[in-house]
Amino acid sequence: MADVVSLELVFDGASEAAVRREWEALVAADLPSQARHTGESNRPHVTLLVRPELPRGDLGALAADLPLRLTLGAPLLFGVGRSRVIARSVIASPELLAFHTRVHELAGAGDDAPHTLPGAWTAHVTLARRVPLDRVGEALGVIADAGGSELAVTATGVRRWDAATRTVSDPLRRGTLEGC
């Protein structure tokens, strides 16, 4: 991964556990899964912004819009070539789109990854990376069997991920990293 900084929505415990159940179902079927990424910072999230650098500005105003109720929808496939990323779509409510736009406004101008810009963003929660094409159907079946219908979740925080230092922090400055 390139050295980038991202801002990500994170979930409450029950919502995170629901996504992790889908991760674990993929592992149980011997398929690629985000559960196999054992890094301390790995957790279900929705990426809001990605850029090469992001000054540590105060994004505390975002706290007023949390918690944010979201709905995870049908699986999505991303990628080209011999493998795919499988993710859960996040249904784009007016509240979510407004929150996403506000994140970009508060972050200020920057060299954003084009797929994270308002109007070009596909909100999603990654379930698995590098799924071989010949196993995509199997993986989608496992996800469907694990609950695959719409899932109500609650986003309770925003975290900042710095790939260069491999650290997370709370840009809302709430004094705890518990939700990160």
Region 74-89: what's the mean pLDDT?
97
Q: Is pLDDT above 80 for 3? A: yes
Report, at the CATH architecture level, how domain 5-165 is classified.
Answer: Alpha-Beta Complex (3.90)
Neighbouring C-alpha atoms within 13 Å toward the C-beta of 84: 14
> What CA–CA distance (Å, rounded) separates 81 from 135?
14
Domain spans, the chain: 5-165
- What integer pLDDT is reported at residue 130 of this predicted model? 97
> What CA–CA distance (Å, rounded) separates 47 from 107?
14
Range among 54-58, 95-99, 143-147, 174-178 rated most confident = 95-99
Task: Name the more confident of 1 and 99.
Answer: 99
Contact of 45 with 155, CB cutoff 8 Å: no
Region 104-125: what's the mean pLDDT?
94
- What integer pLDDT is reported at residue 174 of this predicted model? 60
Region 91-95: what's the mean pLDDT?
97
Q: What is the mean pLDDT of the chain?
A: 92
138-153 pLDDT, tens per residue?
Answer: 999 999 999 768 999 9
Q: Is pLDDT above 70 for 175? A: no
With H, G, I as helix, E, B as strand and everything else as coil, classify residue 97: helix
- What integer pLDDT is reported at residue 1 of this predicted model? 47
C-alpha radius of gyration, the chain, whole number: 16
5-46 pLDDT, tens per residue?
Answer: 999 999 999 999 999 999 999 999 999 999 999 887 889 999
Region 76-80: what's the mean pLDDT?
96
